Amino acid sequence: MRLLQRYILSELLKVYVFVLSVLTVLLVFVGVFREAQESGLGPLQILEILPFVVPSLLPFTIPATLLLTVCVVYGRIAGDLEVTAAKAAGISVMSMLWPAFLLGLCMTVCSFVLTDRVIPWAVANIQHRVTMAMEDIFLDMLRTQLNVTDPDRGYSVTVTGVQGKKLIRPTFHYTPPGHSRSVTMQAQEATLSFDIQKERVNLHLIRGYIDIAGQRRLWFHEEKEPFPLPMSIRLPKPRHLSVGHITRQTREIQQRVDRMGDLRAMEMALSLSIGDFDCLSISAQRQHESAMHYDTRDLRKLTTEVHSRYAMAASCLFFTLLGGPFSILQGRRQFLTSFFFCFAPILIIYYPTVLLMMNLSKSGTVDPCWAMWIGNLLVFAVAGLMLRHVLRH
């Protein structure tokens, strides 16, 4: 690499690392505070999830940080007339912009790896820490109060003591929501484990009985029963899943939708052959569409997530394509002014366009294969005009 390009790249890296570190530290406190507020974590649990919050915030800070870095470096270079000096020496402006484009390409790859690999791993660890904290909180409540009651979920737990995770002589009362028949279980001892994926608590009871209202008492030596979680747990969202996991879910849902469509076609053919025209009515068709509604909705959400992940990661490269030439054109102004004039249209036009296309894709109005790239194409079109002006003048 030439000396000038090495110099520009080193300046870009120094400013980028500094700004990214500052923004990440500021946003980490916001992310940790939100996670603690939603999950009811204590100071010790907050320190445990702190290393996993940082990767979750980087995809949101990297594009804006990269744009600010390009505006700072190239705005200063243009303001010091280094671009003019390079042109006078026969050096093309494009050769000076290549370090920014290279950094944008590298950050595009890093951003995609973060969203596809690192963030699912970090979210899984956060959920694991939250689950362990819920177990500790639940056991501490039983240890101090000897009773935990949740009327919304219809259960109560009473014990005579707690040794580690072992409950001594526990009594469980459970009334399913919407039912008047209750279930009572009592055992000499029991252990529990929280299952975050299925949103339940798995109970392992030893030597006891089960009383169901209106039925005879059932004695058991060993019994395993699930109960709903005592506290709400947020299941992983599509953006917290890897592309491979999303692809497997999409394939399963698509197979289920195809199977339901084939069954509907077979039912219609059979109804025509036997003269059962009620099965062909509009109400029957609406009933079939209602059954497929949720699967189709989930399929659109997962497909949109995959394409939006690629498009949002590529925004790092498109932001550098726009920020470099724009900063050179605005070289006589302060870098914060150049950043504001460059980032304001992105904030007003780019992100609302991306959100609009995302909602339209999830509703099935547009195809996410091309809709999620409209924002990047707009940035690329403006960047092309800026770059053409810089190269010519």
Q: What is the pLDDT of residues 47-93, one digit of tens each?
A: 777 777 777 778 888 998 999 899 889 988 888 888 888 888 888 88
Task: Answer whether 358's CB lies under 8 Å from 102's CB.
Answer: no
Q: Is the pTM of this model over 0.85?
A: no
**Rounded Cα distance, 331 and 338, in Å:** 8
Q: For residues 325 and 100, is the Cβ–Cβ distance under 8 A?
A: no
- Alpha carbon distance 270, 17 (integer Å): 67
Distance CA 162, CA 131 (A): 19
Query: What 3-state class would DSSP assign to 207?
Result: strand
Contact 116, 242 (CB under 8 A): yes
State the Cα–Cα distance between residues 352 and 346, nearest whole angstrom.
Answer: 9
How many other C-beta atoms are found inside a 10 Å radius of the C-beta of residue 34? 11
User: Could you list the pLDDT tens digit for every one of the 393 residues in the chain?
Assistant: 478 888 899 999 999 999 888 888 877 776 666 656 555 566 666 777 777 777 777 888 899 899 989 988 998 888 888 888 888 888 888 888 999 999 999 999 999 998 888 888 887 777 777 666 677 777 777 788 888 777 766 778 888 888 877 888 888 887 766 666 778 888 888 887 777 666 677 778 888 888 877 677 788 888 787 766 655 444 567 777 788 888 888 888 888 777 777 777 777 777 667 766 565 555 555 555 665 667 788 888 888 988 999 999 999 999 999 988 988 888 777 767 777 888 888 889 999 999 999 999 988 889 899 999 999 999 999 999 988 888 877
- In the numeric block, which tokens belong to residue 91? 């050096």
